[in-house]
Structure 1
Amino acid sequence: MGSQEGSSASQLHVVMFPWFAFGHITPFVQLSNKLASHGVQISFLSAPGNIQRISLSLNSSPLIKIIPVHIPPVDGLPPGLDSTSDMSPALADLLKIAADKMQPQIKSILIDLKPHIVFIDFEQHWIPSIASSLGIKTFNFSVFAAACEAYVTNPYRESPTIDDLKKPPPGFPTTSISSLSTYQARDFLYPFMSFNGGPSVQQRVQTTRKSCDAIVMKSCHEMEGPYIDYIRQHYGKPVLLTGPIVPDAPKYKLEEKWENWLQQFPAKSVLFCSFGSETFLTDEQIKELVLGLEQTGLPFFVVLNFPPGDGDNNEKLKNALPAGFAERVQGKGVVHIGWVQQQAILAHDSVGCYVCHSGLSSVIEAFINDCQLVMLPQKGDQFLNSMLISGDLKAGVQVIRDDEDGHFNKEDLCKAVKVVTVDVNEEPGKSISANHGKWRDFLLNKDIQDGFITNLVEEMKKMVH
């Protein structure tokens, strides 16, 4: 469906206010583009340091404008850090406290803009009461899979132990997600912890959910029906669906250096491996990863990142790579530090398999670019995404890990890759490839995907008018 800027939907004005992390900002940007194409006016709020990157992803439209907001000072939080990509986890927790101090600023902006709806993230549990007093609806937009929201940030969970988190909450649907490993459950203790005397992530989520007018999920019944139904049971309010939000094709061309390197290999032969900008592997994990990729015998392109802080990243990489590795893979393997044009790389004809952390946006990009999925989740929602894709959808493979600490070795990594590449014509590779193709067709069906946004806009109009 083309632009509907002249339709009655143009009466809708929405404020978008995601948490200051690009894993959250990106889905808000993608949803903004979809809504604007249906005639919805968008005012997008973020801190100045994020605006250039956001503007590169937002479509050029008279219906979209970016409004800078300023993060108040907090002891221990250096000024000028406007997203979590620039900070340690401890600083990110201080950023939550700074965001809580934005209440007067946000109220002033809402009074000035007079939107119909404000879409908020998990963090801003204080916005619904402000918006309500101004006659503005508040929608809590979850950037996570419904499976993750149903399993972890569930109203039944208050102060769970590791053993509690290893088991699903009461009434959880019978699906392939039946339990968590010890290391996964340990990681999920984080949302229940309070830092610096402020509310925990879970407390923020539940306060937001209970006080907002609607919950919006980046999902659909076709992919996550049982989890969406389970969430609906708990909150007694509308749960609206955006669909998976398939990103538009990138507006940029792949950098010539990478285009030249990739095009020397046959179609679908290259392994691309990336874990996002805020997921960091240990030196031991890096060694096992690159040795496992080398063991496949296929060409590979690995993107790694290191936590912000002291030290030269090139030196860190040199120390992490096995002795003699760089010489052995010269011409056939690339290990790169920092940002790359991920969408354009996945879209390249030579790339056929994506080894990733199972971030939801990355998984969708793999599907639409026909790249087989090998999943090595590292934290949080990535664990549930990986179970959803490999279990419920049977469209990817997880790398086998130790229960206690999540250790994987090069053999496990190599074996997982071979299932979806070398052994793709044998079971289980054949069925995984077939299911991958089925979900790719579903995601690339423009009528289906556009229908999700059309329905969402209709529901928004009903709630406003």
Structure 2
Amino acid sequence: MADTNELGPLPSSHITLLPSSGMGHLTPFLRLAGLLASCNVKVTFITREPPVSLAESQILCHFFSAFPQISQEKLHLLPLDNLSAGSEDDPFYCHIEVIRQSSQLLSSLLRSLSPPPSAIVTDMSLTAAVVPITEALKIPNFIFFTSSATMLILFVSFHILAGSMDGVKIPSLEATPRSWIPPPLLQDKNNLLKTYIIENGKAMTKSDGILVNTLDSIEQSSLLALNGGKVIKGLPSVTAIGLLPPCCFEDNQPLTWLDDQPAGSVVYVSFGSRTAISREQLRELGNGLVGCGYKFLWVVKDKKVDREDGEELVDVIGDELMESVKEKGVAVKHWVNQESILKHPAVGGFLSHCGWNSVTEAMWHGVRVLAWPQHGDQKINANLVTSIGLGIWEKSWGWGGEQIVMREQIAEKVRQMMGNEFLRSQAMCIREEARNRIELHRSSKKGLTELIKMWKKE
């Protein structure tokens, strides 16, 4: 007798997932893999060897222990010396470049899989490199865009707009101001981010579909524009598959200090796994937290890649601030399981760079956000945070590193966020909607349910 669930009979299907570099790309792929496996889909997960960070190595180890039914295939990266100019400035872009140039090895890897893949889900940053390979193998290729649907509009249209970057205006949508566009895209000369967005944005029209970890209800206008041909002609169907819930392997015990704090009283402070902040700004931030009047849990980071970071916390923030922090909160200088922290009842606010994973996790757990974008898609995401009532954004602070934001300003904004009862209430409403939507039988018609049905017919 065939296996069944809400979807009905489940004939065999085999989905292969290919993530890219960095926790912001890896984490949603792991959650998607776990969700597919729970729906009796055969999943093969391709990892890159070596990974770029210790955090990636650790989370992959936990993941495969929790999901023994998911097959792991390793793409051993080529030792390349001829990386594109500028790649050495960012270890993550460097790693993406190595994956891209090693993609020639994918063809034999994919041909070796048994049964043959029904489809492959590829990271957005590898689109241009992988689509020609899967076309030759006649394997449907769906792109997982690991940011918001609103950012996808800029991503797929940038190659058309690049000559006149005064902003982005799509009919029926709010304009994206020039100041929200990542600064590297506004430079006259080419750089890796600019090149990747141009190449991959063009190549997305050759894919079989685009998946976005978002709620259709909060980005309805963007999704309608993308699917209605208003952004770019020839774009395949864009499907909201979120919010992707955290997986069982992420459910670990956060710092026990949180257990002793009153409900909703703690500010969690983190700027993601790849944002390095200057020592001067870190010390202003730390003093602002000490003076805000709330307890806090602060993840300190001043190096992009954790493998390069061997200094002690006191060496980064100094003895005096270290002592002040001990009286008011907790500071750590290592990767933490953010999902476990955000779901803790003691956490009532999140000072965040607004990476898309952080935004979706704040929505999933109903935590208010104070947005402080640092780079990339984060101003576009911060605007979404404010427009849905999840948080506040002080736009005058600019991009991270443009200016030193002083401790008094930081303390004031933290108090403003934590004292705003509307934000607290709205965050909880968003939480309930996200959890209701992820139940497969209540997903939208074009959500993950329909994709799984389609893949089972391949």
TM-score (norm. length: structure 1)? 0.83
SS of equivalent residue, structure 2 residue 141: strand
After superposition, the Cα gap between the structure-2 partners of 1:419 and 1:187, relative to the gap in structure 1 and judged at 3 Å, is: farther
Displacement after TM superposition at 1:434 (Å): 2.5
Q: Is the 8 A contact 2:245 2:438 kept in 1?
A: no
Equivalent position to 1:362, from 337, 358, 362:
358
Equivalent position to 2:71, from 36, 45, 65:
65
Matches within 5 A, 1:201-216: 201-216=196-211
Q: Is the 8 A contact 2:124 2:143 kept in 1?
A: yes
Q: Residue type matched to 1:350 in 2? A: A
Tell me the equivalent position of 1:436: 427
Q: Is the 8 A contact 2:22 2:92 kept in 1?
A: no
Equivalent position to 1:388, from 380, 384, 389:
384
Tell me the equivalent position of 1:179: 177
Tell me the equivalent position of 1:140: 143
The answer to whether structure 1 residue 237 and structure 2 residue 228 are counterparts is no
Tell me the equivalent position of 1:270: 266
The answer to whether structure 1 residue 379 and structure 2 residue 375 are counterparts is yes
Q: Distance in 2 between matches of 1:395 and 1:221?
A: 16
Q: Distance in 1 between matches of 2:323 and 2:361?
A: 32
Displacement after TM superposition at 1:457 (Å): 4.0
Tell me the equivalent position of 1:129: 132
Displacement after TM superposition at 1:10 (Å): 4.3
Displacement after TM superposition at 1:105 (Å): 1.7
Q: Distance in 2 between matches of 1:460 and 1:181?
A: 39
Displacement after TM superposition at 1:236 (Å): 3.9
Tell me the equivalent position of 1:409: 406
After superposition, the Cα gap between the structure-2 partners of 1:108 and 1:63, relative to the gap in structure 1 and judged at 3 Å, is: same
Displacement after TM superposition at 1:460 (Å): 4.9
SS of equivalent residue, structure 1 residue 222: coil
Q: Distance in 2 between matches of 1:67 and 1:438?
A: 40
Deviations 1:260-282 (A, max 9, x none): x2233222111111111211111
Q: Distance in 2 between matches of 1:71 and 1:453?
A: 38
Q: Residue type matched to 1:106 in 2? A: L
Deviations 1:410-447 (A, max 9, x none): 233222222232x3xxxxx2332232121011112266
SS of equivalent residue, structure 2 residue 210: strand
The answer to whether structure 1 residue 74 and structure 2 residue 80 are counterparts is yes
Deviations 1:199-222 (A, max 9, x none): 911233124302111122222320
SS of equivalent residue, structure 2 residue 217: helix
Displacement after TM superposition at 1:22 (Å): 2.0
Tell me the equivalent position of 2:62: 56
Deviations 1:377-400 (A, max 9, x none): 211112111110112x02111134
Q: Distance in 1 between matches of 2:384 and 2:330?
A: 30
Q: Is the 8 A contact 1:353 1:371 kept in 2?
A: yes
Q: Distance in 2 between matches of 1:191 and 1:24?
A: 27
After superposition, the Cα gap between the structure-2 partners of 1:194 and 1:251, relative to the gap in structure 1 and judged at 3 Å, is: closer
Q: Is the 8 A contact 1:14 1:119 kept in 2?
A: yes
Deviations 1:257-313 (A, max 9, x none): x20x22332221111111112111112221221122112111111111222487752
Q: Is the 8 A contact 2:292 2:415 kept in 1?
A: yes
Q: Distance in 1 between matches of 2:38 and 2:308?
A: 44
SS of equivalent residue, structure 1 residue 240: strand
Displacement after TM superposition at 1:7 (Å): 5.8
Equivalent position to 2:157, from 150, 154, 159:
154
After superposition, the Cα gap between the structure-2 partners of 1:47 and 1:388, relative to the gap in structure 1 and judged at 3 Å, is: same
Tell me the equivalent position of 2:54: none
SS of equivalent residue, structure 1 residue 245: coil
After superposition, the Cα gap between the structure-2 partners of 1:190 and 1:12, relative to the gap in structure 1 and judged at 3 Å, is: farther
Tell me the equivalent position of 1:81: none
Q: Is the 8 A contact 1:10 1:39 kept in 2?
A: no
Q: Which moved more, 1:235-244 or 1:133-142?
A: 235-244
SS of equivalent residue, structure 1 residue 47: strand
Q: Is the 8 A contact 2:436 2:442 kept in 1?
A: no
Deviations 1:11-31 (A, max 9, x none): 221110011222111111111
Matches within 5 A, 1:101-112: 101-112=101-112
After superposition, the Cα gap between the structure-2 partners of 1:174 and 1:31, relative to the gap in structure 1 and judged at 3 Å, is: same
Displacement after TM superposition at 1:194 (Å): 4.2
After superposition, the Cα gap between the structure-2 partners of 1:131 and 1:76, relative to the gap in structure 1 and judged at 3 Å, is: closer
TM-score (norm. length: structure 2)? 0.84
SS of equivalent residue, structure 1 residue 132: helix
SS of equivalent residue, structure 1 residue 154: helix
Matches within 5 A, 1:241-390: 241-248=240-247, 252-254=251-253, 258-259=255-256, 261-307=257-303, 308=305, 312-314=310-312, 318-321=315-318, 324-390=320-386
Q: Distance in 1 between matches of 2:140 and 2:207?
A: 8
Displacement after TM superposition at 1:8 (Å): 4.1
Q: Distance in 2 between matches of 1:237 and 1:310?
A: 40
SS of equivalent residue, structure 1 residue 216: strand
Q: Distance in 2 between matches of 1:272 and 1:348?
A: 10
Q: Is the 8 A contact 2:242 2:438 kept in 1?
A: no
Q: Which runs of 5+ in 1 are unaligned?
A: 78-86, 424-428
Q: Distance in 2 between matches of 1:73 and 1:362?
A: 33
Q: Distance in 2 between matches of 1:26 and 1:353?
A: 22
Q: Which runs of 5+ in 2 are unaligned?
A: 52-56
Tell me the equivalent position of 2:450: 458
SS of equivalent residue, structure 1 residue 32: helix
Q: Distance in 2 between matches of 1:409 and 1:180?
A: 25
Moved runs in structure 1, 4+ residues, more than 6 A? Answer: none
After superposition, the Cα gap between the structure-2 partners of 1:287 and 1:453, relative to the gap in structure 1 and judged at 3 Å, is: same
Tell me the equivalent position of 1:100: 100
Deviations 1:140-196 (A, max 9, x none): 1101101111135425545356xx25x224x25433x642437x542444798345x
Q: Distance in 1 between matches of 2:325 and 2:189?
A: 44
After superposition, the Cα gap between the structure-2 partners of 1:55 and 1:192, relative to the gap in structure 1 and judged at 3 Å, is: farther
Tell me the equivalent position of 1:84: none
Q: Is the 8 A contact 1:5 1:37 kept in 2?
A: no
Q: Provide the alpha-carbon RMSD of the alignment.
A: 3.2
